[in-house]
């Protein structure tokens, strides 16, 4: 397992991050603990959870796993979504952030969180209030670093500008959906992260399972993609002709390289400029072992380029315009 710095910070994280959204739900506690043990034994040190995963149960299970080796692990969790039914039970207000961090620390059985992430933007709360609250948590020692998730590019840039102007703690990372079938980051966010040295922690790196051999072209009856309510992890979003073509290219690459499709999809991300640590989730130990097979080898440049080409976004304005009139100078 390789390691890299988490954005503009001094902490090193493993090249893969173990996501724990299924822990306590489709993955029982015993399997979850075994999975985390194996992850650490294989060199992984980066765990991601959230206060709303399985109503807080995920944090409780993660807390049991980290207890004997807390100092060697980088623990990430999140705040934003409702944890209570009253009007102030969600969001990124100072009140909700302070109450949520205490609840997370209790469930995790620790006195500090390495990376505390806002789960998405809160239109109702001024970002100045949110960042001041997060800065206070960093100053108190309850949080080491802060990150964001599911942001527009302007959300991130405004946040960084406020932090710089007011000398608050700065976001060091962004957790964003990114994969061969979801490259929306390429429009603006990716270049912004490279410019500002923000770590990119992709979620759904294999497209919610779409880039595996589990699904055909018919509407699935089980799994995340069968979600009848739509959303990012649904067949409504994934099951397009463009995405089928991308998946076919992934399958061809897997056959050529003697790898699984999940390993190829993850490996493409691991070799993508700016990517720090893709978050993979697994319901079973078999899925876990398959995903871990993405490390320890290199995808040939020509294979990587083919996947990059078939999945790239169409040329768009203003990037097309700016590129045309580039002066070619650094």
The three-state (H, E, C) secondary structure of 40-79, written as one string = HHCCCCEEECCCCHHHHHHHHHHHHHHHHHHHHCEEEEEE
Q: How many residues does the chain have?
A: 330
Shortest CA distance to 267 belongs to which of 240, 307, 238?
307
**Is 53 among the catalytic positions?**
yes
- Name residue, tokens 């059985």: 109
Catalytic residue among 53, 116, 178, 215: 53
Structure tokens at 144: 């080491």
- CA 267 – CA 250 distance, rounded (Å): 11
CB 266 within 8 A of CB 14: no
- The pair of three-digit structure tokens given for residue 1, joined into one six-digit string: 């397992």
DSSP string, 228-282: TT-SSSSHHHH--HHHHHHHHHHHHHHHHHT--HHHHHHHHHHTSTTB---EE--
Residue 194 tokens read as 């490279």
Pick from 64, 74, 81: nearest CA to 18: 74
Question: Which residues are part of the catalytic machinery?
Answer: 53
């Amino acid at each position: 397992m390789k390691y890299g710095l988490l954005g503009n910070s001094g902490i090193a994280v493993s090249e893969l991050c173990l996501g724990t959204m299924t822990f306590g739900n489709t993955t029982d506690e015993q399997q979850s603990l075994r999975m985390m043990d194996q992850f650490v034994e294989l060199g992984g040190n980066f765990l991601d959870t959230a206060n709303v995963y399985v109503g807080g149960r995920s944090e409780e299970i993660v807390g049991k796993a980290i207890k004997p080796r807390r100092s060697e692990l980088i623990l990430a969790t999140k705040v934003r979504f409702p944890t209570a039914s009253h009007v102030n039970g969600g969001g990124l207000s100072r009140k909700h952030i302070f109450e949520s961090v205490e609840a997370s620390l209790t469930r995790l059985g620790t006195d500090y969180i390495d990376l505390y992430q806002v789960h998405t933007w809160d239109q109702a709360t001024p970002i100045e209030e949110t960042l001041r609250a997060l800065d206070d948590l960093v100053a108190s020692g309850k949080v080491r670093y802060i990150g964001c998730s599911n942001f527009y590019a302007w959300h991130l840039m405004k946040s960084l500008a406020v932090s710089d102007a007011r000398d608050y703690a700065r976001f060091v990372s962004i957790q964003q959906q990114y994969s061969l079938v979801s490259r929306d980051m390429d429009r603006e966010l990716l270049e912004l992260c490279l410019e500002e040295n923000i770590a990119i922690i992709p979620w759904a790196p294999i497209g919610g399972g779409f880039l595996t051999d589990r699904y055909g072209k018919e509407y699935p009856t089980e799994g995340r993609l069968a979600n009848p309510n739509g959303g990012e992890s649904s067949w409504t979003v994934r099951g397009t002709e463009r995405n089928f073509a991308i998946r076919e290219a992934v399958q061809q690459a897997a056959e050529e390289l003697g790898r699984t499709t999940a390993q190829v999809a993850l490996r493409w991300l691991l070799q993508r400029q700016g990517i720090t640590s893709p978050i993979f989730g697994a319901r079973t130990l078999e899925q876990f072992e398959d995903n871990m097979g993405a490390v320890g080898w290199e995808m040939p440049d020509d294979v990587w380029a083919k996947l990059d080409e078939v999945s790239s976004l169409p040329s768009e304005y203003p990037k097309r315009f700016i590129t045309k009139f580039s002066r070619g100078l650094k």
